[in-house]
Amino acid sequence: MAAGLYACKKDNNNKVLPIMEPEIRNTSRTVVQAGDTLSIYGDHLLQANCITEVFIHDRPCIVLKAGNDSIQVIVGPQTSTGPLRVTIGLQQTFSSAEGPVITLLGTPLIKSFWPLYGAPGDTIALVTEHFSSNNTENNIFLLGAALRIVGNNGNDTLLVTAPTASGFGTFSWQTYNGPLYKKPDTFAMRQRSYPVQTVMEWIHLDPAFSYVDTLLRGFDDLATNAYLFQHYYDSTLNYITSATRTYTMFLPANGYYYAHGITMAAYLQNVKAKSYQYYPPQLSAIIPGVQLSLGMLQEGDLYRSASTQDIAFPGGDPALGNQVQITKENGKIYAYVVGIDGSTAPRVEILREHRIGRVTILETDGELGSLPL
Binding site for other proteins (CB under 8 A): 51, 53, 55, 57-60, 77-80, 85, 87, 89, 91-94, 96
d(C-alpha 188, C-alpha 253), whole Å: 13
Query: CB of 138: closest distance to other proteins in angstroms?
Result: 25
Query: CB of 92: closest distance to other proteins in angstroms?
Result: 4
Which residues, 6+ apart, have CB-to-CB distance to 293 below 8 Å? Answer: 353, 355, 360
Which residues, 6+ apart, have CB-to-CB distance to 90 below 8 Å? Answer: 17, 18, 19, 47, 49, 50, 51
The CA R_g of the chain, rounded to the nearest whole Å, is 33
Query: CB of 26: closest distance to other proteins in angstroms?
Result: 21
Return the closest-CA partner of residue 108 out of 184, 170, 32, 190. 32
What end-to-end distance do the CA atoms of the chain give, in Å?
Answer: 121
The smaller minimum CB distance to other proteins, of residues 34 and 335, is found at 34
In 11-122, where do the E strands start and end? 23-27, 31-33, 37-43, 51-56, 59-60, 62-66, 70-74, 82-90, 93-105, 109-114, 117-118
Query: CB of 47: closest distance to other proteins in angstroms?
Result: 15
The smaller minimum CB distance to other proteins, of residues 59 and 358, is found at 59
The smaller minimum CB distance to other proteins, of residues 55 and 211, is found at 55
Which residues, 6+ apart, have CB-to-CB distance to 184 below 8 Å? Answer: 170
The smaller minimum CB distance to other proteins, of residues 17 and 296, is found at 17
The smaller minimum CB distance to other proteins, of residues 56 and 160, is found at 56
d(C-alpha 351, C-alpha 369), whole Å: 17
The smaller minimum CB distance to other proteins, of residues 129 and 317, is found at 129
CA distances from 170 to 51, 124, 140, 151 (A): 41, 13, 10, 20
The β-bridge partners of 352 are 363
Query: CB of 70: closest distance to other proteins in angstroms?
Result: 22
The smaller minimum CB distance to other proteins, of residues 79 and 370, is found at 79
Query: CB of 361: closest distance to other proteins in angstroms?
Result: 50
Query: CB of 93: closest distance to other proteins in angstroms?
Result: 7
